[in-house]
A and B are shown apart, each in its own frame.
Chain A
Amino acid sequence: MGKFIQLVVDGLSTGSVYAALGIAHVPEGRGTLGDLTVRENLRVGAYLRKDAKGVDRDIDYCLDLFPNLQDRIKSNASALSGGEQQMLAVARAIMSKPRLLLLDEASLGLAPSTAKNVYDAIRRLRTESGISMIVVEQNANLAFTLVDSATVLEVGRNVLTGTSAELKGMDEIRRAYLGG
């Protein structure tokens, strides 16, 4: 019987394992529910919660964190731009009040300024809520604005591990990833 942190996982889909463990996954490709409105997407994120008032409060918080979503609150998610959809995906993920947030290639397909906005908001989220995060990111510059420590993988192999400060200082990293 396969167990993962005291949860029997045989036969469960990945999604339900995540949900049961308080892990929120923002997948590559965002997984936004296109035919639902922004507000409805957020409500889906909060599906497992029982506290209606808390959910409403958190929706307001998300809209504060991501002002762009406030303007589009009634639009269908499919009508949003790439950056807005990314923000929506992150907001939906945190609606479940997760213990751990998994961010998968959050900057993918976004213009640099948009990506920066997204990461700024996530950084603010991190400061204000203290959620633990695991970030998969090809854009090292962006990643370093957010994380304390990092692992560099090359073709799936763990090549370097260290704190952001340490890694940023290393010549190899600077040359390969930071354009310096």
Chain B
Amino acid sequence: MATPSTSTSSTPSTSTASSPASPLWQRPWARWAGPPLIVVVLAVLPLVMTESANDTLARIGVFAVAVLGLNVVMGYTGQVSLGQIFFLGLGAYVTAYGVQSGWNIVLVFVLTCLIPAVVGLLVALAAARLGGLAIAMVTIALPIVGVPLAKRLSDFTGGSQGLSARFVEAPEGSGLYDDQWQLYVVLVIGGIVFLLTSLLVRGKYGRAFAIVKGNENVASSMGISPYRYKVLAFTIASLIGGVSGFLYMVVVQYTSPETMSFGHSIELLVAMVIGGAGSIVGSILGGAFYVVVPDLTNAVDPSLTALLQGALLLAVLFVLPGGLVSLPRVLMRRLRRSPAGRGSAAPPTTPSSTTGSGTAAEETETERQGHA
């Protein structure tokens, strides 16, 4: 084998400090002023927008939270889960039932966090033992079994009719309309969930998740039990899913078995990947995708929806694996590369590339080291 790799440095994964034009949102003043600015904008927005726009935004918020939950187990920890919508539905049912039974709203919220989390924990304890794609294969059962189960347990769920619950109305003296108040509720609760989750994934748990996602053998040799962290991730995802169910009831005020159908389950996964797996902002984009795209395609031609979603998902996976959230980064890398000419000359490593150094033309006596 000849020399060690002759390739020049491959492209750095993050923009280096030396690069002159760092993105707008990473500049120091942006970090300072950004969050308060966003808070102000979000506080004002509901007051100025139309009712239907507020409603759409609120729904986006609901599903952004749901997608965020899915991201915890799938984007960050690498376990494909087709069950997230089930936890949303479960949370919605718990909320609806609790409200209809006249329970304290705080109690309802707590239950809507706990019950899905416990169910998720049980499912994960069983499924994570299997390794491989077992969590995918088992979670697919959740919506498939969930729908007939919801129909069957009609005492709790109202059967096929579903349950209505309207419990978020603007307080008397605030002068706000219901839709505005609902949007605020979604923004506040959703915001807290996003904040807590982002702290989680940026801390040591997030690092552990990433290691488990990357290589389970490496994780266990480092003392990080893949099993434990998969269970943890799945439980958190279920909890967040439950919260998104609560928010769902706040906005939509009605739930039925259809809420957690297999089709919706897949749509949620598609939305997550397109928005950006393993990304906080990507979850918001995913929520937007989930809500906006069907609205658009249903206006044009409803039977086109699934086709479009499938095509977009495949397009993203092929061209933009990091999801829409990575689009700015990818575009800027492209723009930066072309004027600079050929940057890294690292030869593509095909699976069967031979290290054919010192090949053919040498005498047959020469020992050939470096075989495929």
Residues of A within 8 A of B (CB): 4-5, 13-15, 25, 27-28, 102, 104, 132, 134, 136, 149-151, 153, 156, 158, 161
Asked whether B372 lies within 8 Å of A134 as measured between CB atoms, the reply is no
In order of increasing CB-CB distance, the 4 nearest A-B pairs are: A14-B372, A13-B352, A14-B354, A151-B367
Cα–Cα, bound, A133→B366 (Å) = 12
Whether A104 pairs with B1 at a CB distance below 8 angstroms is no
Q: Are A27 and B352 in contact (CB under 8 A)?
A: no
Is there an interface contact between B368 and A161, defined as CB atoms closer than 8 Å? Answer: no
B360 within 8 A of A: yes
Partner of A156, one of B351, B354, B369, B371: B369
Contact residues of B: prevailing secondary structure: loop
Q: Is the CB of A134 within 8 A of B367?
A: yes
Residues on B with beta carbons closer than 8 Å to the beta carbon of A156: 1-2, 369
A15 touches B369 (CB 8 A): no
Contact A5 B360 (CB under 8 A): yes
Convert B325-360 into 0s and 1s, putting 1 for each residue whose CB lies closer than 8 angstroms to a CB of A. Answer: 000000000000000000000000011111000011
**Pair count A-B, CB < 8 A:** 42
User: Which residues of the partner chain B approach A161 to less than 8 Å between Cβ atoms?
Assistant: 365
Q: Which residues of B contact A13 (CB under 8 A)?
A: 350-352, 372
Cβ–Cβ contact A149 & B369, under 8 A: no
CA–CA, A104 and B366, complex, Å: 14
Main secondary structure of the interface of A (DSSP, over half): strand
Flag whether B364 is at the interface (Cβ < 8 A): yes
Q: Are A136 and B372 in contact (CB under 8 A)?
A: no
Q: How far is the CB of B301 from chain A (nearest CB, A)?
A: 42
| Residues A158 and B369 in contact, CB atoms below 8 Å apart | no
**A102:B368 contact, CB within 8 angstroms:** yes
Contact call A14/B352, Cβ cutoff below 8 A: yes
Which residues of chain A come closer than 8 Å to B367, judged between CB atoms? 134, 136, 150-151, 153
Are A25 and B365 CB-contacts (below 8 A) given A4-B359, A156-B1?
no
Residues of A within 8 A of B1 (CB): 156
Asked whether, in the complex, the Cβ of A149 is within 8 Å of the Cβ of B354, the reply is no
Identify the closest chain B residue to A153 (Cβ).
B367
Give the CA-CA distance A158 to B1 in the complex, in Å. Answer: 12
Interface positions of B from 192 to 222, Cβ below 8 Å from A: none
Which residue of chain A lies nearest to B366 when distances are taken between CB atoms in the complex? A151
Q: Report yes or no: B369 in contact with A134, Cβ–Cβ below 8 A.
A: no
Bound state CA distance, A42 and B353, in angstroms? 26
B352 touches A153 (CB 8 A): no
- CA A158 to CA B363, docked complex, whole Å: 12
Residue of A nearest to B1 (CB): A156
Instruction: Enumerate 27 A-B pairs (CB-CB under 8 Å) in ascending A order.
Output: A4-B359, A13-B350, A13-B372, A14-B352, A14-B353, A14-B354, A14-B372, A15-B352, A25-B371, A25-B372, A27-B371, A27-B372, A104-B371, A132-B364, A134-B364, A134-B368, A136-B367, A136-B368, A136-B369, A150-B365, A150-B367, A151-B366, A153-B369, A156-B1, A156-B2, A158-B366, A161-B365
Known: A104-B371, A153-B367. 8 other contacts (CB 8 A): A14-B371, A14-B372, A27-B372, A102-B371, A136-B367, A149-B365, A150-B367, A156-B369
The CA-CA distance from A132 to B364 in the complex, in Å, is 10
Find the B residue at minimum CB distance from A132.
B364
Q: How far is the CA of A4 from the CA of B361 in the complex (A)?
A: 9
A28 to B354, CA, bound (A): 15
Contact B372 A15 (CB under 8 A): yes
Residues of chain B with a CB closer than 8 A to A28's CB = 371
A102→B350 CA distance, assembly (Å): 23
B372 to chain A: closest residue by CB: A14
| Nearest neighbor of B367 in chain A, beta-carbon distance | A151
Nearest Cβ distance between residue B123 and chain A, in whole angstroms?
A: 34
Give the residues in chain A near B371, CB-CB below 8 Å: 14, 25, 27-28, 102, 104
